[in-house]
């Protein structure tokens, strides 16, 4: 009996201690890559909720009540920005009524706005089906840009949670070192991909190609966000006959019917890539995202020879 009392006492004590040890910062991550980066930079100081998975198109998400509720309690929302979430994030911000995560507040972190963006249109062209109104938002596929984003995100974490500033500095420095080592390794590993022509489904890979010097040979979508049409695919096939490509790549969430068609017609491998953390079994964290992407592309390149 004495023992049971002792156990109960320990349990009560533990229960009383847990709230004090709970994470100080509630983070709403729009996409898995930003959840993964925040986890690396904040560790146990952040309690992170991820709004989407690798198997969803981040351009098109339903602003469900459960997401609104999570946004309501957030101290910090870490999103891509640059218009990627324009169809759902503004509604979450509005409906949540959370003043901390509104535009221009420190509680809203737009990752893509912290780096130089590619494909910024001179005139916004949304009526024509362009879903990249502020340039290409898919910045997570360039690790050099991730390094910049990590530095700015560390500063933001310190601003919102100053009590742990020293810890964020230490974690940021540790991540920066490990990330730089990984980039050196990836640069070496990816050398055979330099100058290789690759067809894409959506313009999801502009930053990967910018980093590695891969040439975009064409897109299955006639315009970003517009589904492949028979006419456009026929044109693309003709172009590839004149100037062949080595592979066609697509994200785990994308419909692969047009990919399979082109792969067969052009006689090139179709390669599914993770695009974000969780997109493939190998992409189980931010490092794995790049390891697996390169492994899969190099595998397709070698299979082709
Ligand atoms: Zn896009």
Same domain for 22 and 124, yes or no, is yes
**57 Cα–ligand 1 center, Å:** 9
| Residue where a domain terminates, one of 121, 152, 185 | 185
Q: Quick: pLDDT tens for 183-234.
A: 999 999 999 999 999 999 999 999 999 999 999 999 999 998 999 999 999 9
Same domain for 131 and 209, yes or no, is no
Residue 5 lies in a domain: no
- Report residue 278 as tokens: 């969780």
Same domain for 160 and 195, yes or no, is no
Tally of domains in the chain: 2
Question: Is residue 1 over pLDDT 60?
Answer: no
**135 Cα–ligand 1 center, Å:** 9
Same domain for 68 and 150, yes or no, is yes
Helix (H) or strand (E) holding 206: helix 206-212
Same domain for 162 and 205, yes or no, is no
**254 Cα–ligand 1 center, Å:** 11
Split at pLDDT 50, 70, 90, the class of 255 is confident
Helix axes 286-304, 165-189, angle to 10 degrees: 10
d(CA 55, CA 14): 38
**205 Cα–ligand 1 center, Å:** 9
Residue 78 lies in a domain: yes
Residue 155 lies in a domain: yes
pLDDT recorded at residue 123? 74
- Report residue 9 as tokens: 């006492």
Split at pLDDT 50, 70, 90, the class of 131 is confident
pLDDT recorded at residue 6? 55
Residue 129 CA: distances (Å) to CA of 51, 232, 257, 270: 25, 15, 21, 26
Same domain for 223 and 134, yes or no, is no
Same domain for 50 and 125, yes or no, is yes
Prediction pTM value? 0.91
Q: Domain of 159: which CATH number?
A: 3.40.50.1980
Residue 239 lies in a domain: yes
Same domain for 174 and 253, yes or no, is no
User: In sequence order, what are the residues at sequence separation of 6 or more whose Cβ sits closer than 8 angstroms to the Cβ of residue 121?
Assistant: 130, 132, 133, 135
**133 Cα–ligand 1 center, Å:** 10
Question: Is residue 73 over pLDDT 70?
Answer: yes
**202 Cα–ligand 1 center, Å:** 7
Split at pLDDT 50, 70, 90, the class of 303 is confident
Residue 197 lies in a domain: yes
Same domain for 144 and 230, yes or no, is no
Same domain for 65 and 150, yes or no, is yes
Residue 7 lies in a domain: no
pLDDT recorded at residue 198? 98
Question: Is residue 72 over pLDDT 60?
Answer: yes
| Residue where a domain terminates, one of 163, 185, 207 | 185
Same domain for 177 and 220, yes or no, is no
**Strand order in 76-79's β-sheet?**
46-50, 25-29, 76-79, 108-110
**206 Cα–ligand 1 center, Å:** 10
Hey, is 105 helix, strand or coil?
A: coil
pLDDT recorded at residue 19? 45
- Report residue 120 as tokens: 């910024």
Same domain for 167 and 214, yes or no, is no
| Residue where a domain terminates, one of 131, 165, 185 | 185
Residue 2 lies in a domain: no
d(CA 178, CA 176): 6
Residue 268: which domain range?
A: 190-304
Residue 3 lies in a domain: no
pLDDT recorded at residue 147? 98
d(CA 235, CA 191): 30
């Amino acid at each position: 009996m004495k023992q049971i009392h002792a156990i109960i006492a320990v349990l009560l004590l533990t229960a009383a201690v847990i709230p004090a040890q709970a994470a100080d910062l509630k983070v709403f991550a729009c996409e898995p890559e930003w959840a993964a980066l925040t986890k690396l930079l904040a560790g146990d100081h952040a309690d992170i909720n991820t709004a989407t998975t690798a198997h969803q198109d981040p351009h098109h998400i339903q602003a469900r009540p459960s997401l609104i509720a999570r946004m309501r309690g957030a101290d910090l929302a870490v999103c891509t920005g640059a218009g990627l979430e324009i169809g759902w994030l503004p509604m979450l911000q509005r409906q949540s009524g959370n003043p901390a995560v509104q535009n221009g507040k420190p509680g809203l972190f737009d990752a893509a706005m912290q780096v130089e963006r590619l494909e910024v249109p001179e005139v916004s062209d949304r009526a024509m089906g362009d879903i990249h109104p502020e340039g290409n938002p898919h910045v997570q596929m360039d690790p050099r840009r991730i390094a910049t984003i990590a530095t700015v995100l560390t500063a933001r974490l310190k601003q919102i949670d100053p009590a742990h500033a020293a810890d964020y500095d230490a974690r940021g420095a540790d991540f920066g070192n490990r990330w730089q080592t990984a980039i050196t390794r990836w640069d070496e590993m990816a050398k055979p991909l330099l100058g290789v022509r690759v067809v894409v489904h959506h313009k999801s890979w502009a930053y990967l190609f910018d980093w590695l010097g891969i040439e975009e040979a064409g897109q299955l979508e006639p315009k970003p966000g517009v589904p492949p049409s028979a006419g456009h695919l026929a044109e693309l096939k003709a172009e590839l006959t004149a100037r062949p490509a080595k592979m066609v790549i697509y994200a785990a969430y994308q419909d692969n019917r047009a990919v399979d068609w082109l792969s067969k017609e052009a006689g090139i491998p179709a390669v599914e890539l993770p695009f974000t953390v969780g997109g493939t079994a190998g992409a189980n964290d931010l490092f794995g995202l790049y390891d697996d992407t390169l492994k899969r592309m190099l595998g397709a390149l070698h299979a082709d020879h």
